[in-house]
Structure 1
Amino acid sequence: MEDVYKKLAVHLDNTPSGFPETETGVELRILKQLFTKQEATLALSLVLMPESVETIAQRAQKDPEKIEPLLIEMGKKGLIIHINRNGINTFMLLHFVVGIWEYQVNRLTKELIKDFNEYVPYLIKDQYKNKTQQLRVVPVAKAINTELNIMDYEQVGNIIKSQSKILVAPCICRKEHDIMGKGCGKLSETCLVFGGGAYIYESRGIGRTISQEEALDIAKEAVKQGLVPQPSNAKKPLNICFCCDCCCQILKNIKNFEAPAKIVSSNFQAHVDPDECTGCFACQEICPMNAIDTNEDISLVNLNRCIGCGLCVTVCEFDAISLKDKKQMERIEPPANLVETYMNIAKEKGLF
């Protein structure tokens, strides 16, 4: 049985988002809680493209009629992707993060949460070796000014308004912390999922479909509560998460890096006008990356730590702080879509 889970761990590690090995074997404990032995064995025959049950059965050397119900059940559990188009079932492998883990929002247990929290630092360290990241940070609407060289795909409102299908799901990070008695009390329904991803969530009974207006209201409330907008790293994102630095596994862990600005995909950073700053330090309190330093009762932005979310701008009553464009050589253009994102990561990891 151990060999099956070790093989699955390697199989998942060969996806762009990775699934690194640890000294403690916590990754294997996680897989054993999510997959039965039979499911783990079958997952080894799946790839990152939708395939018919006949193709998968041939690779697995199994009877298609016998494995199809199991594949459908694995899809319901969020272990793989199941798509039914015109009555034809197709199945594909999922990344662990973002992917399998996020679909477990309704299957969380304290043991699973404990193991995942132990594993996250390994995942983060592994993922941030890549130039291309899975997520990026875009500024909150209140921080956007006319001087910014900002594109439509960098504006939360424009991203939402371009969607025809929107679903909101519970934030798995805040739900984890609530279950463990460590919740922050901030808005829980904040994960916006778009297009095909929304249909998949809906088919699994996760979240609820909402209108553009409802999504925009959620985005406004999220900013009021100091949450950071993180869409998937593509010009046509599949989702936007609104994250807090106390629960979000990504923000919480990159906060421990010496220079978060160098690893987060963002095109903006905050700057303080010393002549206007009154030293109230409201910006310091809301900053999710501890990027605001002080000098003689005036705020200073540590550019090695600032990820350009713009939350500091929303609380400055004296217009002393604003977002500026990064230097041209530091600006990052997101991939066109999610497929290109993962192709770029795969190339950077030398997977092909």
Structure 2
Amino acid sequence: MAHNHTHGSPYSRLAERLNRFPQGAPESKLLFDILKILMTEREAGLMAQLPIKPFSAHQAAEIWKLSDCEAQKALDELARRAIIVDIEQDGRQVYAVPPPMAGFFEFSLMRVRDDIDQKTLSELFYQYITVEEDFMRDLVCGGDIQMGRIFPQEPQIPDEYALHVLDYERATNVIDTASHIGISMCYCRHKALHAGTVCDAPMDICMTFNTTAATLIKHGHARQVEAAECRDLLAQAYDHNLVQFGENVRRRVNFICNCCSCCCEALLAIKRFGVAQTICSNYISRIEESKCVGCGKCEKICPVNAIEMTEDKNAACSSSEGAARENGVKRARVIPERCIGCGVCIKHCPTKALQLEPRPNRMITPLDTTHKVVAMATERGKLQELIFDNKVLFSHRLLGGVLGAILKLPGLQRSFAQAQLKSRYLETLISRAAGEEPPSDR
């Protein structure tokens, strides 16, 4: 709960605005302290009035009741600090307020800067995200469609399945097809560095792509690289047993993080809240028991504790396993509901007892960012916020984009979306576009 002295303040209004996103930011004194470091009270008040959908400087000026020049200056200053993003869309400059995560929370620590107190900010992020837990719980436990997903490590996929790996499941395809590629400091390990708990994994290895990379590069928050260098960094991430956690879309992926199990919030949340089955890849680790010698290397290296050593009392110990164990032979066992299908464990098995294989049921991956946001909003009961947000910017073109995403949802989710909209006109439009009979009056 917000403290009384923040109630009704620009920071409180901004928190309310952020919570219109499918992934919001629960109100807390810690959140207000974070926002106070990142922006002035006036800037928070201006941001609180901005819509969820992309907007122009002229539209912001109308909302803020400022001149176009004043609005442009305020927007450019916020974009310079990566609090909002500025992107080119159909030949014109537009702006958007990113969600807190993946968004301006991470952007604030993706490079070393002296205009803010990054050590204090890191401690506040730790307390708000890790200790209080509400933020991450709301983010990863709200439904089956998540903001991110795991990319399997391609070298660990057996040849027999390699031809069946879809392009959007390959981190290398994201790299090779991106319009822009930016490399930045890992937000999670940078935060751990200030706390004195950072591991020895590479720091400058956070990957952004396409429009997100373009704006971060423009303002100096990311270093522009070519695909070849990014592939080299991906190989470096594999060598350090890092997990590839990227945007949960099939087209125009905007980020891939290379995560360690000790510092990175995504993996810590998977372990803490047991949400592996909504974030995992379309692959799962399988153990061929007859080849397992019980060395335990896979258990130690698994980033989400999805492998355990169990006693096989029916197996006889071989001489290679040492003297006979009184309690039986140790065997590794994959816990299916915890496995994220990253492939980190595979190369550490000395007897090749482990391999990745396709999951029986494939995960649903949204087509693009719009589809993802609509699906998440539907599951979290926030779709009406998304569509009717700030009616001054409401247009048939924007509505068409959202409705197009609704039509791509599975039938049950589409029904949930229609129920949330509570509009007979939109129900009829959606039903007809999907080739269904419009609902009859009741």
Report the TM-score when normalising by structure 2.
Answer: 0.75
2:18 maps to which of 9, 12, 17: 12
Cα distance, 1:5 vs structure 2: 0.9
Cα distance, 1:139 vs structure 2: 0.9
Letter in structure 2 aligned against 1:64: D
Letter in structure 2 aligned against 1:241: C
Q: Which moved more, 1:304-313 or 1:174-183?
A: 174-183
Q: Secondary structure at the match of 1:226?
A: coil
Match of 2:174 in 1: 159
Structure 2 Cα separation of the partners of residues 88 and 152 of structure 1: 30
Structure 2 Cα separation of the partners of residues 118 and 254 of structure 1: 18
2:108 maps to which of 104, 108, 132: 104
Structure 1 Cα separation of the partners of residues 225 and 171 of structure 2: 16
Q: Which moved more, 1:103-112 or 1:217-226?
A: 103-112
Q: Which moved more, 1:220-229 or 1:207-216?
A: 207-216
Match of 1:192 in 2: 207
Aligned Cα root-mean-square deviation (Å) = 1.9
Q: Does residue 242 of the first structure (1) align with residue 251 of the second (2)?
A: no
After superposition, give the CA deviation of every residue in 1:82-128 in whole Å (9 maximum; x if it has no partner): 23679954322221111111210235622211111122122210012
Letter in structure 1 aligned against 2:97: L
Q: Secondary structure at the match of 1:200?
A: helix
1:56 maps to which of 47, 56, 60: 60
Letter in structure 2 aligned against 1:111: T
Match of 1:70 in 2: 74
Q: Does residue 319 of the first structure (1) align with residue 326 of the second (2)?
A: no
Cα distance, 1:26 vs structure 2: 1.4
Match of 1:118 in 2: 127
Letter in structure 2 aligned against 1:332: M
Structure 1 Cα separation of the partners of residues 145 and 307 of structure 2: 26
Structure 2 Cα separation of the partners of residues 115 and 312 of structure 1: 33
Letter in structure 2 aligned against 1:91: Y
Is the 2:146–2:279 Cα contact (8 Å) retained in structure 1? yes
Q: Any gaps of 5 or more consecutive residues in structure 2?
A: 312-329, 385-442
Structure 1 Cα separation of the partners of residues 107 and 57 of structure 2: 22
Is the 1:142–1:314 Cα contact (8 Å) retained in structure 2? no
Q: Secondary structure at the match of 1:327?
A: coil
Letter in structure 2 aligned against 1:272: I
Match of 1:136 in 2: 149
Distance 1:86 1:134, change over 3 A: closer
Match of 2:338 in 1: 305
After superposition, give the CA deviation of every residue in 1:166-203 in whole Å (9 maximum; x if it has no partner): 22111111111112221102111211111222111111
Q: Does residue 181 of the first structure (1) align with residue 196 of the second (2)?
A: yes
After superposition, give the CA deviation of every residue in 1:256-276 in whole Å (9 maximum; x if it has no partner): 23x342332422211111100
Structure 2 Cα separation of the partners of residues 289 and 137 of structure 1: 12
Distance 1:242 1:37, change over 3 A: same
Match of 2:316 in 1: none
Structure 1 Cα separation of the partners of residues 179 and 74 of structure 2: 32
Is the 1:94–1:100 Cα contact (8 Å) retained in structure 2? yes
Report the TM-score when normalising by structure 1.
Answer: 0.93
Is the 1:132–1:344 Cα contact (8 Å) retained in structure 2? yes
After superposition, give the CA deviation of every residue in 1:237-293 in whole Å (9 maximum; x if it has no partner): 112111001111111232123x34233242221111110011111111110011111
Cα distance, 1:136 vs structure 2: 0.1
Report 1 or 2 for greater relative contact order, CA contacts < 8 Å, sequence distance ≥ 6: 1
Q: Secondary structure at the match of 1:82?
A: strand
Structure 2 Cα separation of the partners of residues 51 and 164 of structure 1: 22
Q: How do 1:30-45 and structure 2 match up within 5 A?
A: 30-45=34-49
Structure possessing the higher radius of gyration over alpha carbons: 2
Is the 1:139–1:154 Cα contact (8 Å) retained in structure 2? yes
Greater percentage in helix? 2
Is the 2:243–2:258 Cα contact (8 Å) retained in structure 1? yes
Q: Any gaps of 5 or more consecutive residues in structure 1?
A: none
Letter in structure 2 aligned against 1:338: T
Is the 2:282–2:358 Cα contact (8 Å) retained in structure 1? yes
Letter in structure 2 aligned against 1:186: A
Structure 2 Cα separation of the partners of residues 6 and 131 of structure 1: 29
Q: Secondary structure at the match of 2:149?
A: coil
Sequence identity (%): 29
Letter in structure 1 aligned against 2:369: L
Distance 1:318 1:348, change over 3 A: same
Is the 1:174–1:183 Cα contact (8 Å) retained in structure 2? yes
Letter in structure 2 aligned against 1:131: D
Structure 1 Cα separation of the partners of residues 333 and 135 of structure 2: 32
